[in-house]
Amino acid sequence: MNTEVGKDLEKVKRLLDDASTVAIPTETVYGLAANGRDPEAISKIYLAKQRPLSNPLILHYKDAKSAFDDVLNVPKNANILAEKFWPGPLTMLLEKKSLVPDAVTAGKSRVAIRVPAHETCQLLLQKLSYPVAAPSANIYGRISPTCAEHVRNQLNTRIPYILDGGPCLKGIESTIIGFEQGKIMIYRLGSVTIEDLKSCTNAEVFYIESNAQKDEAPITSGMVKHHYAPNTPMFSSEDLDRSIDLSNCGYIGFDKPHPDFHTSNQFLLNDTGLMDVAASQLYRAFHIMDAKNFKRLYITWLPEKGIGRSINDRIKRAIQKNKP
């Protein structure tokens, strides 16, 4: 049976209460949600996504109090950052209480928690008596979805319902952080930048770059080496091979077109140079250009600052499968 797309919050609640999986909108990307207290429901996420059981999930809560109630200790900087960025695209990795199923954390002692800012998602969470586990609503390793159509293109017939909340505002996943000896450790770059974290705490901030292969157990979501990738082979524009026919190749640029590609074969993330807008358009560009069945896709790097670092991280992972 084809997956239904709609805006019926009560139907979504019934499905989640019945241990089913449902795609829901967040401000980052669409998530594949299930009851975060129910191991049976959580197992259906892994099945629908074809996600390795060793890869932990993120729990989504209606507010900071509910989120912090599920962990053992809340560092001072966690409270500061929650006050600043929740609801919003920041995930914290903290020691879990026993009521959090091991199925969520892949047996690890820390759980990833966040409070999403999307209005429709919040309306849903307010109706539930439990948090929802929700990784991105796509086949594992493929392009994350930023609208309901993207979800349906990948998960049609695998799940019963997609809650349509329109296009995602941020367009890339949340930043995931942890706390070690007063330091803030970034495990996944995202919509909250290194500069954002430094601006409201006195802590040192470190990025833990993971090169974990797909068969290794990551610390948290989004840390495998190859991820977020279209089916079309993608390469950096720095590696442009002019010996091949570029008329059947596509180009994703930042703010300027590339002279070697036909105009119709290009997608600019933002022609005015705004990196926040570029971030919101990144996966949309991946989906659109992948559907054109080019022989290859080339993509430019963005300035390595602010959210540009996070965009470059997604690009790096998308092109990784084509590395020797």
How does 226-239 read in b/e, with b if 16+ C-beta sit within 10 Å?
Answer: bbbbbebebbebee
Residues of the chain with CATH 3.40.50.11030: 234-322
Task: Give 80's contacts (C-beta < 8 A, 6+ positions apart).
Answer: 200, 201
- Classified as helix, coil or strand, 175 is strand
Query: What is the tens place of the pLDDT at every residue in 93-114?
Result: 999 999 999 999 999 999 999 9
Q: What is the mean pLDDT of the segment spanning 214-233?
A: 71
Alpha helices per DSSP H over 247-306: 275-290
Percentage of residues in the chain with pLDDT exceeding 90?
89
Q: Residue 64 — very low, low, confident or very high, per pLDDT cuts 50/70/90?
A: very high
Task: Give 117's contacts (C-beta < 8 A, 6+ positions apart).
Answer: 26, 27, 87, 88, 89
List phi, psi (to 5°) of 253: -110, 170
Which residue bears the tokens 């084809």? 2
Position 156 pLDDT exceeds 90: yes
The DSSP symbol for 302 reads P
What is the pLDDT at residue 61?
Answer: 98
- Give dist(CA 53, CA 70) in Å, integer: 22
Query: Residue 79 to residues 179, 183, 203, 240, 316: CA-CA distances in angstroms?
Result: 12, 14, 13, 46, 32
Query: Whole-number mean pLDDT of the chain?
Result: 94
The DSSP symbol for 300 reads P
- Please tell me which residue, 228 or 268, carries the higher pLDDT value: 268
Global model pTM greater than 0.85: yes
What is the pLDDT at residue 221?
Answer: 66
Position 24 pLDDT exceeds 60: yes
Residues of the chain with CATH 3.90.870.10: 4-207
User: What are the beta bridge partners of residue 179?
Assistant: 184
**Long-range Cβ pairs for the range 126-129 (8 Å, 24+):** 126/62, 127/9, 127/10, 127/13, 128/13, 128/16, 128/62
Angle at which helices 119-127 and 9-17 cross, to 10°: 50
Superfamily of domain 234-322: Threonylcarbamoyl-AMP synthase, C-terminal domain (3.40.50.11030)
Position 222 pLDDT exceeds 80: no
- Residue 110 is encoded by which pair of tokens? 């820390």
Q: Residue 212 — very low, low, confident or very high, per pLDDT cuts 50/70/90?
A: very low
CATH topology of domain 4-207: DHBP synthase (3.90.870)
Q: Residue 211 — very low, low, confident or very high, per pLDDT cuts 50/70/90?
A: low
Alpha helices per DSSP H over the chain: 9-17, 39-49, 64-68, 76-85, 102-105, 119-127, 148-155, 194-199, 275-290, 307-319
Query: What is the tens place of the pLDDT at every residue in 172-197?
Result: 999 999 999 989 999 999 999 999 99
- Residue 92: Cβ-neighbour burial (10 angstroms; 0-12, 13-18, 19+): buried
